[in-house]
Amino acid sequence: MEKKSVGLGLALGGGAARGMAHLGVLRVLEREGINVDYLAGTSMGAVVAAVYAVGTDPNYIARLAEKLRWETLVDIRFNKMGLISGDKIERVIQVLTKNRNFEELQMPLAIIAADLGSGEPVIFRSGPIYSAVRASIAIPGVFEPIKCGDRMLVDGGIINNVPVKPVRDLGADVVIAVDVSHDQGSSEPRNFVEVLFKAFEVMGAYINKAQLESADLVIAPNTDKIGPAGFYRAAECIAAGEQAAEEALPRIRELLAKKAEEMGCQKTERQKPARQEREA
């Protein structure tokens, strides 16, 4: 069947607190009437992608993010598998995603985790959304891994931190990667949790290079001075995402127009139905 419009996909990368910059990118696209048709997310990118995919207004998500504090989301549990059990944040994600399954979504969504045993990516496209997101954010050493059958799942960022290929595989014609992992000039870690985050990001930076090359456009919000645990700086992260998206608008429109011409489509931008300001 011939497509009537260009399918735009976003690949939202991991980056801990910096991932809140994704909200700024989504805000700008909504404001400009540029419809997102496909989403894939890893780690914090998975959180934002999932909450957006269930139909929540990015402005509401942004206001909520600005009120949240890291300490309210963590439950310290010193054991051999991880510092944080993740039970609290799992419950929050379950509420934010309205306890929905992938099959209930109108927007195709992929959430990326990693199989710690095989070293292979695990791409969730079915089942409960919250459990997929919980696996995707399980930073080794910080969060307890998730058992899924005979597999032990951890943060997808160790394999695919900016999931360009997964969102293209969903059917996207144009893929924009949002990379919040770069950290040149960022401050030194202040504690061992930030050391773990930092080491994880450094490793992911090398993995990112090949993945980002396959994107049609890379948006890289300037969050370099925000630490991975800086959730209290949500407003700055969101503003950085907005600025980066606004600067990218001419290129986004150019890409969509070019692809529309190639495909013989008439429209590249269209009006979305009103999103929900509150959780149902």
Residues carrying an active site annotation? 43, 155
Cβ pair 169, 204 in contact under 8 A: no
Tokens of 17: 């607190």
Rounded Cα gap, residues 258 and 193, in angstroms: 45
Closest by Cα among 208, 242, 196, 199 to 222? 242
Tokens of 230: 């800086």
Q: Where are the alpha helices (DSSP H) in the chain?
A: 21-31, 44-53, 58-67, 70-73, 87-96, 129-136, 164-169, 192-213, 234-263
Cβ pair 265, 6 in contact under 8 A: yes
**Main-chain phi, psi angles of 219, to 5 degrees:** -105, 125
Closest by Cα among 215, 190, 107, 199 to 158? 199
